[in-house]
Amino acid sequence: MDDLLSEFLTETGEGLTTLDVELVKLEQNPNDSELLGNIFRLMHTIKGTCGFLGLPRLESVAHAGENIMNKFRDKELSVTPTGVSLILECLDQIRDILQTLEATEKEPEGDDTDLINRLNAHAEGGDQAAVPPAESPSAPVEAGMDRLDHIPDDDDEEDELEKAFRLALGPDELAAKAVEVAAPAPEPVAEVVELKPAPAPKSVPKSAPPAAPAAESTTSVANQSIRVSVEVLENLMTMVSELVLTRNQTLQILRAHKESDFATPLQRLNHVVSDLQEGVMKTRMQPIGNAWAKLPRIIRDLSHELDKKIDLVMKGAETELDRQVLELIKDPLTHMVRNSADHGLEIPSERIAAGKPETGQVILNAFHEGGHIIIQISDDGKGLNTDRIRAKCLENNLASEADLEAMSDQQIQQFVFRAGFSTAAAVTAVSGRGVGMDVVRTNIEKIGGTVELSSTEGKGTIFTIKIPLTLAIVSALIVECCKERFAIPQLSVVELVRTSAHSEHKIEHISETPVLRLRNRLLPLVTLRDLLKLSDPEAEGEQGETTELREDNFIVVSQVGTYTFGIIVDRVFDTEEIVVKPVAPILRDIQLFSGNTILGDGAVVMILDPNGIAAATGEIAVADADMGGYEDRHAAAGEEKVAMLVFRSGEGAPKAVPLALIARLEEVDLTHVESSGGQHVVQYRGQLMPLIPMQPDMKLEKEGRQPVLVFSDRERSMGLVVDEIIDIVEDRMNVELSAEKQGYIGSAIIAEKATDVVDAGFYLTQAYPDWFGSESGKENFESDRSRILLVDDSPFFRNLLMPMLSVAGYDVKAVESASDALSLCEDGETFDVIISDIEMPGMNGFEFAEAVQENHRWSKIPMVALSAFASPADLVKGRAAGFRDYVSKTDRGALLTTIQDTIAELKGAA
Amino acid sequence: MSDNYQENEDFVTFFIAGQLFGVPVLRVQDIINPQRITPVPLAPPEIAGSLNLRGRIVTAIDVRKRLGLPAREGKDCMSIVVENGNDLYSLMVDSVGEVLAVDESSFERNPPTLDQRFRDYSQGIYRLDGRLLVILDVNRFLDYGRSADAA
């Protein structure tokens, strides 16, 4: 039997049993609203699943029952024994249908019109039920059934249910039809009818299925599996993890004693623990097909919407992986499939012109490979247009022309994963909803996976995702550097190379950068010692010589995406199964570690994060190398593009907020929202995150999902609840200011629409009144507040930063040009810190800084440069001009910290 | 949460540079002898590293460094393990004293002239016979988000 169907049977069976009990309880306590809500939810779930599986008969019965429950819940109808009996009758009917369904895997033929009518009548008028017209319009439902019945009865490999699913009407259509059925019912006919007992359901299928042996039907599917709460499994997993650790420790001790009586029993223990680990892991395993269940529907809708013919092929749906991992990849996968269908495949006419079959294919393929799961999403569409990506990179200043010249096509294609990148020329309703491939990559990397793409123009694109089977226990390589041990997840280790001055592999230097010749390629190297700023206790004497490499080194060749690099370490030990534990919050912002663990000998070691290492060294150097040059061009162009997230909330114009302020976009499951102290909160990454509705009068639903913009500042997060996220738009900002409405900075034309620009700070302080004040408060206990001069030509940023700095306890004066600032100087004003933009019309930031240095009155005032981008090259240039520090405009935290440090230093010196 | 002291009058006391400190006894998970500590590269200087306490990873914080005091002489020191959120922290102190039950009436707020760092992390002072007991505000002491910059 199909997994989906048997799961449905189990679930619904349980649901029905609970419903029976709950309904009886309800009859006794008709006013228990919690009970009512519970019953309604159960009923609703049953209905929803039926619709999803394409079981129209069940759905229509459940729907009618749900109707009444809905009225009970909304207090439109009082709970009466008659009503409850009707619902119970409805449940019995569902149970009957389910039984046949279980035996034959098909819905029995039959007519529930009578029951449905009585249910509907009750829903409309309580006991004063009116008889609907005799010829009840059940035709649409039957139409749906007809389509179901027309499934050819061949027994080929293809899953029947899946076929039925494709043939059947979508749940929405069905629901619509079911409503149609229900709607005409309340035609009021004066006659009052007594309620007849339900006719015996005609649940005997027309042609009894030959392939349903009696023995099988006695053991109901519903009893073959039990449901265990995920929590129990998680706990079990944690215990096993601990057991594995203890086993490792014991084995370590055993190794020290060659001849031991414990050897044999410990070996046995070792095996049992391994088996146990495997067994428990298995309980958490789910076929990846579960994550794919929604996709056929999505593809079907897409093909209608986009007028494309799309065939979705799913291979290896039975490949199993950890449910935690499964949950985490569900959304990225959906997004990627959507992307392939929307951006990848061409419309039929283009396909024919290109000599391809009219119907495009999106192929999903999952398989195991060496402790990992590989998921490939490929399409036979037009492939990535490297030229367009190149142009887009230049346009968005992701790389310079010279960089792009030097890159291979494949390297250029990887830019698709960069933030702020979408190749679709037009944003459709389907994809390009702003949350792009960069989010996909981030999500996959978060679970220790990698994603790569390769594309041939005109042929198609293949995305390859490689993820670990499980998150809890990973195999890691233990290395040593300066007498400290570290773990590197095996997943990202490609190979190990030993170098010495005399062997064939030796480390060479270009300037001071170490590289290694490896199979005719130059491999960039990073030294772990420098990266972690470690010093060897034995080599203490020759300090400062940290870049001096020893003769013998081990190089761990690692791969992150398509970027391969070597990590130089002192020694390499063996690999060990480690249990990843998160690091303390204090240490969480150290990018280079993904966690820590306890090794077999009981020592704590840090787990290195190859992604973090790549980000901290190589990858950035490759892609962002020429930022300095870009700044100049940027200044010449004299325009400042800001990426804005456009969303909808409440009535009126769309709203926008600078993307840089947003930490993440999330969809919050409303069933998880709790209320605490009059504030909505939700558990988010192990902490409680307050949810602030964008509209004060906005009511949160009890269930469903709601988009939330997450703002984070160090440990704290806050979610702004909005109605819908529309898009990310990168545009020049011309904000028309208005201080009339609280919470808004003003309005601007974004994507040719008048848009309200939201003052994020207003909402942040709603969640935490001291959001901005907390860090700086103590710096300003002296009675006079520090004065800050803010020079920025963009009214948008002036208005963004001014309130923020004021809230943080500074006295801020903002001017729009360097010359205005200098005239303030002549007027005799004085400040504690000057913060200045770099790109400004007239005198730019660097010139301004030089002018200030030359001016006697102001030459002592520390200056902080502010720019949309801050790269090392800018830093050097800024320092030369006289700036003390260089901060990215959109990084509030860094700005506040810098100001605070600057002032603290100033006070210390005075 | 800063009102904890009114319910708990029992404090585990410890010494830092001769000053007597106390933490509410209910916050204390354990008192441990010197342990093998794995240093964490790139961490703030007062974080001595991580250690393994019966299978749980504990972050060790040098209280002296956190308070801006000079490092202690000699390497070995006692630690008081406290729980914050779901994480364990071991506070490395000079020595651990006895558990004191104190009279609530002897409580006083921080004198405004108290050194900034002490004031940040002190919940208040108890007047004991012949000496003063500074109550460590564990939440604030471990709240790195708030004061990471102060380091």
pLDDT at A769 over 70: no
Measure in Å the smallest separation between the Cα of A532 and chain B Cα atoms.
5
Q: Do B145 and A581 touch (CB under 8 A)?
A: no
* Contact residues on chain A for B150, CB-CB shorter than 8 A: 778
Q: Where are the alpha helices (DSSP H) in A307-385?
A: 323-339, 348-353
d(CA B103, CA B22): 14
The more confidently predicted of residues A893 and A14 is A14
Chain B residue nearest residue A586, CA to CA? B144
pLDDT at A825 over 50: yes
Q: Do A604 and B38 touch (CB under 8 A)?
A: yes
d(CA A148, CA A169): 9
Q: Do B89 and A584 touch (CB under 8 A)?
A: yes
- Give per-residue pLDDT as tens, A649-666: 877 778 888 776 676 777
The more confidently predicted of residues A730 and A437 is A437
In terms of average pLDDT, the best of A133-142, A350-359, B4-13 is A350-359
pLDDT at A643 over 90: no
Give the pLDDT band of residue A641 (cuts 50, 70, 90): low
Q: Which A-chain residues 472-491 have CB contacts (< 8 A) with chain B?
A: 484-485
Q: Do B146 and A774 touch (CB under 8 A)?
A: yes
Tell me whether A901 touches chain B (CB under 8 Å): yes
Residue written as token pair 């009444």: A68
Give the pLDDT band of residue A471 (cuts 50, 70, 90): low
Q: Considering only A16-20, A240-244, A782-786, which range has the smallest mean pLDDT?
A: A782-786
Share of chain B above pLDDT 90, in %: 18
Nearest to A51 by CA among A148, A132, A124, A152: A148
Residue type, A710: V
State residue A779's pLDDT score: 40
* Contact residues on chain B for A485, CB-CB shorter than 8 A: 38
Measure in Å the smallest separation between the Cα of A346 and chain B Cα atoms.
50
Measure in Å the smallest separation between the Cα of B82 and chain A Cα atoms.
13
Q: Which of B37, B40, B137 to mutate to test the interface with A (most CBs of A within 10 A)?
A: B40
Nearest to A55 by CA among A155, A161, A151: A161
Q: Do B55 and A533 touch (CB under 8 A)?
A: no
Per-domain boundaries in chain A = 3-223, 230-283, 287-468, 473-623, 629-767, 776-909
- Give per-residue pLDDT as tens, A206-248: 444 444 444 444 445 556 677 788 788 888 888 888 888 888 8
State residue A556's pLDDT score: 92
Tell me whether A716 touches chain B (CB under 8 Å): yes
For A850-883, b/e burial (b = at least 16 CB within 10 A) is ebbeeeeebeebbbbbbbbbbbebbbebbeebbb
State residue B120's pLDDT score: 83
d(CA A701, CA A709): 17
Give the pLDDT band of residue A869 (cuts 50, 70, 90): low
Q: Do A484 and B38 touch (CB under 8 A)?
A: yes
Q: Considering only A134-138, A413-417, B4-8, which range has the smallest mean pLDDT?
A: A134-138
Return the SS3 of A283.
helix
The predicted model gives A428-454 an average pLDDT of 67
State residue A196's pLDDT score: 42
Q: Which A-chain residues 844-873 have CB contacts (< 8 A) with chain B?
A: none
Nearest to A415 by CA among A402, A391, A398: A398
- Give per-residue pLDDT as tens, B90-101: 999 988 998 988
Tell me whether A424 touches chain B (CB under 8 Å): no
d(CA A481, CA A483): 5
pLDDT at A333 over 80: yes
Q: Do B40 and A606 touch (CB under 8 A)?
A: yes
Q: Where are the alpha helices (DSSP H) in A586-708?
A: 610-616, 618-623, 627-637
**Topology (CATH) of A473-623:** OB fold (Dihydrolipoamide Acetyltransferase, E2P) (2.40.50)
State residue A186's pLDDT score: 43
Residue type, A402: A
Measure in Å the smallest separation between the Cα of B40 and chain A Cα atoms.
7
Measure in Å the smallest separation between the Cα of A871 and chain B Cα atoms.
21
Nearest to A865 by CA among A882, A885, A881: A885
In terms of average pLDDT, the best of A284-288, A510-514, A562-566, B16-20 is B16-20
Nearest Cβ partner for B50 among A533, A602, A604: A604
pLDDT at A183 over 70: no
CA distances (Å), A632 to each of A311, A397, A622, A626, A732, in order? 48, 12, 19, 11, 18
Q: Do A585 and B57 touch (CB under 8 A)?
A: no
The more confidently predicted of residues A126 and A690 is A690
CA distances (Å), A656 to each of A133, A636, A707, A893, in order? 53, 27, 14, 21
Sign of the dihedral through C-alpha A763, A767, A770, A774: negative
Return the SS3 of A219.
coil
Provide the mean pLDDT of chain A.
73
Q: Are A907 and A899 in contact (CB under 8 A)?
A: no
State residue A206's pLDDT score: 42
What CATH code would you report for A287-468? 3.30.565.10
* Contact residues on chain A for B47, CB-CB shorter than 8 A: 586-587
State residue B60's pLDDT score: 92
With a CB cutoff of 8 Å and minimum separation 6, the contacts of B95 are: B14, B15, B77, B78
pLDDT at A470 over 50: yes
DSSP string, A776-837: HGGGG-SSSPPEEEEE-S-HHHHHHHHHHHHHTT-EEEEESSHHHHHHHHHTT---SEEEEE
Q: Are A553 and A516 in contact (CB under 8 A)?
A: no
pLDDT at A28 over 90: no
* Contact residues on chain A for B144, CB-CB shorter than 8 A: 585-586, 714-715
Share of chain A above pLDDT 70, in %: 73
Interface of chain B toward chain A, CB-CB under 8 angstroms? 36, 38-44, 47, 49-52, 55, 57, 59, 85-87, 89, 116, 120, 142-150
* Contact residues on chain B for A597, CB-CB shorter than 8 A: 57
Q: Considering only A63-77, A337-351, B101-115, which range has the smallest mean pLDDT?
A: A63-77
Nearest Cβ partner for B144 among A532, A533, A586: A586
Q: Do A585 and B39 touch (CB under 8 A)?
A: no
Nearest Cβ partner for A585 among B42, B87, B149: B87
Give the pLDDT band of residue A730 (cuts 50, 70, 90): low
B135 forms bridges with which residues in the sheet? B22, B124
pLDDT at A51 over 80: no
Q: What angle do CA A199, A202, A207 make, to 5 degrees?
A: 170
Q: Which CATH superfamily hosts domain A629-767? A: CheA-289, Domain 4 (2.40.50.180)
In terms of average pLDDT, the best of A536-545, A726-735, B136-145 is B136-145
pTM for the whole structure:
0.43
State residue A624's pLDDT score: 33
* Contact residues on chain B for A714, CB-CB shorter than 8 A: 144-145, 148
With a CB cutoff of 8 Å and minimum separation 6, the contacts of A898 are: A864, A885, A887
The predicted model gives A770-785 an average pLDDT of 47
Q: Considering only A88-92, A330-334, A714-718, which range has the smallest mean pLDDT?
A: A714-718
Tell me whether A601 touches chain B (CB under 8 Å): no
Measure in Å the smallest separation between the Cα of A683 and chain B Cα atoms.
13
Give the pLDDT band of residue A440 (cuts 50, 70, 90): confident
Residue written as token pair 């400004």: A840
State residue B122's pLDDT score: 87
Return the SS3 of A225.
coil
The predicted model gives A167-172 an average pLDDT of 47
Measure in Å the smallest separation between the Cα of B100 and chain A Cα atoms.
30
Number of alpha carbons in the 13 Å side-chain half-sphere of residue B149? 21
Measure in Å the smallest separation between the Cα of B50 and chain A Cα atoms.
6
The CATH label, of 1.20.1050.10, 3.40.50.2300, 3.50.50.60, 3.30.365.10, for the domain at A776-909 is: 3.40.50.2300
The more confidently predicted of residues A782 and A840 is A840
Nearest Cβ partner for B41 among A533, A584, A585: A533
State residue A754's pLDDT score: 79
Q: Do B57 and A604 touch (CB under 8 A)?
A: yes
Give the pLDDT band of residue A161 (cuts 50, 70, 90): very low
Give the pLDDT band of residue B76 (cuts 50, 70, 90): confident
Share of chain B above pLDDT 70, in %: 88
Rounded to 10 degrees, the C-alpha dihedral A694/A697/A702/A703 comes to -40
Q: Do A900 and B38 touch (CB under 8 A)?
A: no
Q: Which of B61, B81, B140, B146 to mutate to test the interface with A (most CBs of A within 10 A)?
A: B146
Residue type, A433: R
The predicted model gives A490-498 an average pLDDT of 86
State residue A707's pLDDT score: 82
State residue A164's pLDDT score: 47
Terminal CA-to-CA distance of chain B, rounded, Å? 24
A687 forms bridges with which residues in the sheet? A684
Share of chain A above pLDDT 90, in %: 2
Q: Do B43 and A581 touch (CB under 8 A)?
A: no
d(CA A750, CA A747): 9
C-alpha R_g of chain B: 15
pLDDT at A695 over 70: yes
CATH class of A3-223: mainly alpha
d(CA A480, CA A496): 14
CATH class of B4-150: mainly beta
Give the pLDDT band of residue B12 (cuts 50, 70, 90): very high
Give the pLDDT band of residue A546 (cuts 50, 70, 90): very low
State residue A534's pLDDT score: 80
Measure in Å the smallest separation between the Cα of B47 and chain A Cα atoms.
9
Whats the size of chain B, residue-wise? 151
DSSP string, A368-390: EETTEEEEEEEE-S----HHHHH
Q: Are A695 and A652 in contact (CB under 8 A)?
A: no
DSSP string, A591-611: TTEEEEEE-TTS-EEEEE-HH
State residue B59's pLDDT score: 92
Q: Are B65 and B16 in contact (CB under 8 A)?
A: no
Return the SS3 of A317.
coil
Q: Are A87 and A118 in contact (CB under 8 A)?
A: no
Q: Do A714 and B145 touch (CB under 8 A)?
A: yes
State residue A777's pLDDT score: 39
Q: Considering only A187-201, A572-586, B72-86, B93-107, which range has the smallest mean pLDDT?
A: A187-201
Q: Do B120 and A900 touch (CB under 8 A)?
A: no
The predicted model gives B132-150 an average pLDDT of 73
Q: Considering only A141-155, A229-243, A319-333, A496-510, which range has the smallest mean pLDDT?
A: A141-155
The predicted model gives A268-286 an average pLDDT of 84
Q: Do B38 and A603 touch (CB under 8 A)?
A: yes
pLDDT at A127 over 70: no
State residue A709's pLDDT score: 82
Tell me whether A677 touches chain B (CB under 8 Å): no
* Contact residues on chain A for B51, CB-CB shorter than 8 A: 604
As a whole number of angstroms, the longest Cα–Cα distance in chain B is: 45
State residue A630's pLDDT score: 32
Give the pLDDT band of residue A905 (cuts 50, 70, 90): confident
B79 forms bridges with which residues in the sheet? B32, B92
d(CA A160, CA A450): 35
Q: What is the ipTM of this complex?
A: 0.83
Return the SS3 of A543.
coil
DSSP string, chain B: -TTGGGT--EEEEEEETTEEEEEEGGGEEEEE-----B--TTS-TTEEEEEEETTEEEEEEEHHHHTTPPPPSSS--EEEEEEETTEEEEEEESEEEEEEE--GGGEEPPPTTS-HHHHHHEEEEEEETTEEEEEE-HHHHH-HHHHGGG-
